[in-house]
Structure 1
Amino acid sequence: MEETGFHPDLIHAIFKLEWSRRSLEREKNENPDAMDCEVDAGAGTSKKSRPMSANANALKLSSKLVNFSICAEAVQRAATIAEAEGIGRIEPTHLERVLPQLLLDF
């Protein structure tokens, strides 16, 4: 059975982007007078500058959690619309109405 949703490689790329952003933020906070410069990825062996990685199982779990979170948010938003319309159950049209904003949010 083929799984749908976010691929673990995509989640890893997102994590790496966030790790890089936080690393640059820490460097700016530690040395606010330093001029902006390009960081050489191979230079230095300190904990701050070494590449970050994630376990394959952790990436699979993270991708499943992202899928679950987005599905739960979609259902919650659709339920809010159904409730506002006085309907006791979510219908496909409710999900269709929340999808554009949901895609923009995520």
Structure 2
Amino acid sequence: MADETFDPDLIHAIFKHVWTRRYLDRERNGGNGAMESEAGVGTSKKNRPTSANAHALKLSCELLRTFVAEAVNRAADIAEAEGVTKIEATHLERILPQLLLDF
């Protein structure tokens, strides 16, 4: 089970969804922002497609796998300390602030 990780295609689809939403938000807001600086003659960053290479996707998958595994381990420790065998949302809520600070 240690070799299991997130599907790179799934992570790429999530990234593309977020990038598309941000692009549409920028367009709706009139395109104002720091991301609009010119990248070269006749091309702006806004007009270039956003993509991720295979290595970046693999690294993102591993980071997400590590993050989720750590969240589950910390929540399990809290649940065990309370004497329960099932992780509940409250356990995750309790560990989330420190987990986000650690990552």
For this structure pair, what is the TM-score category when the shorter chain's length is used for normalisation?
Answer: 0.5 to 0.7
Q: Distance in 1 between matches of 2:77 and 2:47?
A: 45
Equivalenced residue count is 77
Structure scoring higher RCO (CA < 8 A, sep ≥ 6) equals 1
Q: Distance in 2 between matches of 1:4 and 1:80?
A: 25
Partner residue in 1 for 2:50: 52
Q: Distance in 1 between matches of 2:77 and 2:30?
A: 46
TM-score normalised over the length of structure 2: 0.63
Q: Distance in 1 between matches of 2:3 and 2:80?
A: 29
Partner residue in 1 for 2:24: 24
Q: Deviation per CA, 1:45-75, whole angstroms, max 9, x where unpaired? A: 6432432111211100000011111111111
Partner residue in 2 for 1:78: 76
Q: Distance in 2 between matches of 1:12 and 1:5?
A: 14
* Consecutive unaligned residues in structure 2, runs of 5 or more: 32-42, 90-103
TM-score normalised over the length of structure 1: 0.62
Query: Looking at CA atoms only, which structure, 1 or 2, has the larger radius of gyration?
Result: 1
Task: Return the letter of the residue paired with 1:28.
Answer: R
Root-mean-square deviation over aligned CA pairs: 2.3
More helix per residue? 2
Alpha-carbon deviation of 1:3?
3.5
Which portions of structure 1, spanning 4 or more consecutive aligned residues, are displaced by more than 3 angstroms?
A: none
More strand per residue? 2
